[in-house]
Structure 1
Amino acid sequence: MRLPQHRQEEKPFLHDKLRDLKSLLDGNKDSDPRGVGKTRVLPWLVLSATLLSLFACVSFVSRRWDSDGEQYGKSDLHLDLTLRNLVSVSIGLSQLAGERIRKVKQSHKEGVEIKGQTNEGVDEPVTVADKVSNSVFINGFKSIFGNDMQLVSEETQPKTEAIIPQLEFVDTFVGGDRILNKQDISIIVDPLDATKEFTEETDVDGSNMLPFVTTLVCIVEKAQPIAGIIYRPFASNEPVIWGIATPHARHVYPNIAKIATGDSAHLIAVSRSHTGDAKDIVRDVISDPSHSYRSLPVGGSGYKSWLVLTGQADAYIHVTKIKIWDLCAGHALLRAAGGDVTDKRGNPLLYKSDQPEFNNGLVAALHRNKIDAIVNKLSS
């Protein structure tokens, strides 16, 4: 599934060069006791060539990146703007951002600030983890695809730093190597979804809420979500999930998409902190004698989309405003698996950088007929 990594181990190479140089000098010392003539010229030629080789190697090493995926110097890695490259870089940046988020949590130095309130009057926190993760994504994409890359993020513009992730290229897919028009492409990022749950950590019932936390990356072409990348940094041994949803290819990796069955088929995910009247709507409007539903309040739009994608909830509804960076990655993944997301009236959602908010709620499911059934009930 993965091509060889970009990261290389240079130290053994340098060590071998130094060892070979020492052997040459030691060997030639005894090769001609007179110390004159051709046997003396050859070692100096070899020495000169070897020193030049070492200089080139040291120059090369100085531009490589460290174990955290960050370069020592200015980025010299630039990739063509293809969907395959965008997804590969998104995966690498998600893993690196996840590492930094975990480090902040382990240090207990979240540095919580309140940046505002939701329409429901709930505080919206921002933490050090949000900021360092945002820096990874914004600087990483710009380092590789250029400063003119259109980026939309929940957080503010970070301080510039050169960041290159450890890249493991995904296998190609139909249309994956097509050169994209940069004017048609935007990248929408939520560097840490479910910040409230990240800061609170445990719910009132004592359950762990860190699994709600996700990083979200969405690739948009002409206002359509064509790729989604979700990573849950506190989910043990879970890989980055990515999906492609273009007219030429629909694919989710790993293949985790499944239709809800059993008890899960009676669950509809709703917001834990931005609920509005969603719980009442699930109970009084969407449920009927033929199929009853219960609301499942959880944190993070990315996590709720993940629940639907993995068959742990039958649908996801939201009845108040929601930001494009909360929804875009999950929307792309659900489309990749054959599902969709609409507003609560069944209208399509378009992702535009100058319109960062959807005002008419959402309905998400893995089957369009499920969305239509819920939309019809909401409209009746």
Structure 2
Amino acid sequence: MLGTFEQAALEAGKAILAIYRAGCLVTLKQDLSPVTVADEQAERIIIEHLAREFPDIPIIAEESVAAGRIPDVRGRPFFLVDPLDGTREFVEQRDEFTVNIAYIEDGVPIAGIVYAPAVKLAFTGAYGKAQRLSISDEFSVFDRSDISVRRQPKELLALASRRYNNAQTDRFLLDNAVTACTTIGSSLKFCLLAEGQADVYPRFSRTMEWDTAAGDAILRAAGGMTVTGSGQPLLYGKTEQSEDSDFANPDFISWGCRASRSRA
């Protein structure tokens, strides 16, 4: 499965990068979030790969959901796709945008890939093994190295969203004795935790499952965990939610060490 993820992500990333370098128009969806032709083209590429190789597994993809194409995934394994995570970074010519593909089983992110085409890096994770991939100018993998979370140090380094910090985030950092915080866009935050470059990523603002699933799969494969405010593992495939839309996440905390728990 990861082989298919790699092929789909690399092809989608190639298309995205061509548009990124040429520039493109931006439109707004109903929720006022930006979308570009790069999002739409990359999603078509990824769906073609997944549908061809796994025709019986439904796909929840961001732009398809926005267009009303939402298969029923209740009680079934499924894919979650964010073809261009960090569209605002993409529009502002920041290189942190990523391609995200994940496989969900029983609510758990089992496998995932996060590919950052502008920085020529990808990360994969499945079944207890996570890797960092170096990508060539020809969009092929030329190096793979195993990664894992680091042991929690006395002084924690946190990662935070560049755009969505708030007072609750600041309070969490203070309560958990975090001594430094780095802001970065897109799902790369999960990958930095997975390869042991940081310790915690608190998120107290709205995200959708396709934003987090691939990075979360990599983090869990590397030995970390993402938990809700109650300390329970974040689950996927959340539909018929009384307080939010289908596939919306609650607040969460991603830790680079399984033993870590928030005091928030």
Structure 1 unaligned runs (5+)?
A: 1-85, 118-122, 160-182, 202-208
After the TM superposition, which residues 267-286 of structure 1 pair with which residues of structure 2 at under 5 Å, given as runs? 267-286=157-176
Aligned twin of 1:310:
195
Match for 1:187 among 68, 79, 85? 79
For residues 330 and 255 of structure 1, what CA distance do their matches in structure 2 show? 15
Aligned twin of 1:114:
28
Match for 2:102 among 218, 237, 241? 218
Q: Which has the higher strand share?
A: 2
Aligned twin of 2:37:
128
**In the alignment, is residue 235 of structure 1 matched against residue 150 of structure 2?**
no
Displacement of 1:261:
7.9
Displacement of 1:200:
0.8
Aligned twin of 1:101:
16
Q: What secondary structure sits across from 2:64 in the alignment?
A: coil
After the TM superposition, which residues 151-230 of structure 1 pair with which residues of structure 2 at under 5 Å, given as runs? 151-156=59-64, 184-201=76-93, 209-210=94-95, 212-230=96-114
Return the letter of the residue paired with 2:7: G
**In the alignment, is residue 341 of structure 1 matched against residue 226 of structure 2?**
yes
Displacement of 1:258:
4.0
Displacement of 1:231:
0.8
Q: 1:328 to 1:157 in 2, by over 3 A?
A: closer
For residues 129 and 97 of structure 1, what CA distance do their matches in structure 2 show? 9
For residues 34 and 87 of structure 2, what CA distance do their matches in structure 1 show? 7
Aligned twin of 2:70:
none
Q: 1:140 to 1:277 in 2, by over 3 A?
A: same
Aligned twin of 2:242:
none
Bigger RCO (CA 8 Å, 6+ sep): 2
Displacement of 1:100:
0.2
CA contact (8 A) 2:149 2:224 kept: no
For residues 262 and 353 of structure 1, what CA distance do their matches in structure 2 show? 34
Q: Which has the higher helix share?
A: 1
Displacement of 1:136:
0.7
For residues 198 and 52 of structure 2, what CA distance do their matches in structure 1 show? 38
Identity over aligned pairs, percent: 27
Aligned twin of 1:72:
none
**In the alignment, is residue 356 of structure 1 matched against residue 264 of structure 2?**
no
Greater Rg by CA = 1
CA contact (8 A) 1:279 1:295 kept: no
The ranges of structure 1 where at least 4 consecutive aligned residues each deviate by more than 6 angstroms after the TM superposition are 260-263
Return the letter of the residue paired with 2:51: K
**In the alignment, is residue 256 of structure 1 matched against residue 170 of structure 2?**
no
For normalisation by structure 2, the TM-score amounts to 0.82
For residues 344 and 192 of structure 1, what CA distance do their matches in structure 2 show? 27
For residues 347 and 116 of structure 1, what CA distance do their matches in structure 2 show? 32
CA contact (8 A) 1:131 1:158 kept: no
Paired positions, count: 238
Displacement of 1:297:
1.9
Match for 1:293 among 179, 189, 207? 179
